[in-house]
């Protein structure tokens, strides 16, 4: 274990199990119908405990980002520079994450992103995002 690995307990286990299979999960409230992230055991909007897991589309847009050039916490020290980002998921929740496989120069606020998962050694698959490759000239 390193300091940067997520805590996995009985509550968050479904989230990490889904991540291992390449799916991002959100928590959605049956009382007010709003999804949220990160996962909580009750709805942060109406406090209902009638909250269940739903699979997210993995689509998001870039809200803001920061290139991190120094981080002494393992494993980040081996990874710098990296792009720490906040993204708006298509379902609504805002999520802190990392942008991978992307030059900083191409990053734009509002650009479309898609979820991918980083696997390192024995650790859990961690959801990160990459830019959407627009193929062809037919984007609308």
- Least CB distance to Zn ion at residue 53 (A): 15
Binder of Zn ion out of 4, 16, 31, 94 (CB under 5 A): 31
- Tell me if 96 contacts Zn ion by CB under 5 A: no
Binder of Zn ion out of 2, 13, 22, 46 (CB under 5 A): 46
- Alpha-carbon gap, residue 111 to 130, rounded angstroms: 10
- Tell me if 32 contacts Zn ion by CB under 5 A: yes
Before 8, cis peptide (omega within 30)?
no
Binder of Zn ion out of 45, 77, 80, 119 (CB under 5 A): 45
**Which CB atom, from 34 or from 58, has the smaller least distance to Zn ion?**
34
H helix or E strand, kind and range, residue 20: helix 13-20
- Least CB distance to Zn ion at residue 33 (A): 7
- Least CB distance to Zn ion at residue 37 (A): 14
**What is the Cα 13 distance to its own chain's centre?**
16
CA angle 64–65–68, rounded 5-degree value: 160
3-state secondary structure of 112: strand
From 32-40, 64-72, 106-114, 129-137, give the range in contact with Zn ion by CB under 5 A: 32-40
Which residues have a Cβ under 8 Å from the Cβ of 15 and sit 6 or more positions away? Answer: 25, 39, 53
3-state secondary structure of 53: strand
Binder of Zn ion out of 18, 25, 29, 62 (CB under 5 A): 29
Q: What is the binding site for Zn ion (CB under 5 A)?
A: 29, 31-32, 43, 45-46, 48
């Amino acid at each position: 274990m390193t300091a940067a690995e997520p805590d996995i307990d009985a509550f968050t286990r479904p989230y990490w199990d889904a991540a291992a299979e390449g799916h991002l999960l959100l928590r959605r409230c049956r009382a007010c119908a709003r999804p949220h992230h990160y996962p909580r055991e009750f709805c942060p909007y109406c406090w209902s405990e009638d909250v269940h897991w739903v699979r997210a589309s993995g689509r998001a847009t870039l809200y803001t980002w920061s290139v991190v050039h120094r981080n002494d916490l393992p494993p980040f020290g081996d990874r710098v520079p990296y792009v720490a980002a906040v993204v708006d998921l298509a379902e609504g929740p805002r999520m802190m994450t990392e942008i991978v496989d992307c030059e900083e120069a191409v990053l734009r606020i509002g650009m479309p992103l898609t979820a991918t998962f980083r696997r390192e050694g024995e650790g859990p698959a961690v959801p990160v995002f990459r830019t959407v490759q627009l193929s062809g000239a037919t984007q609308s």
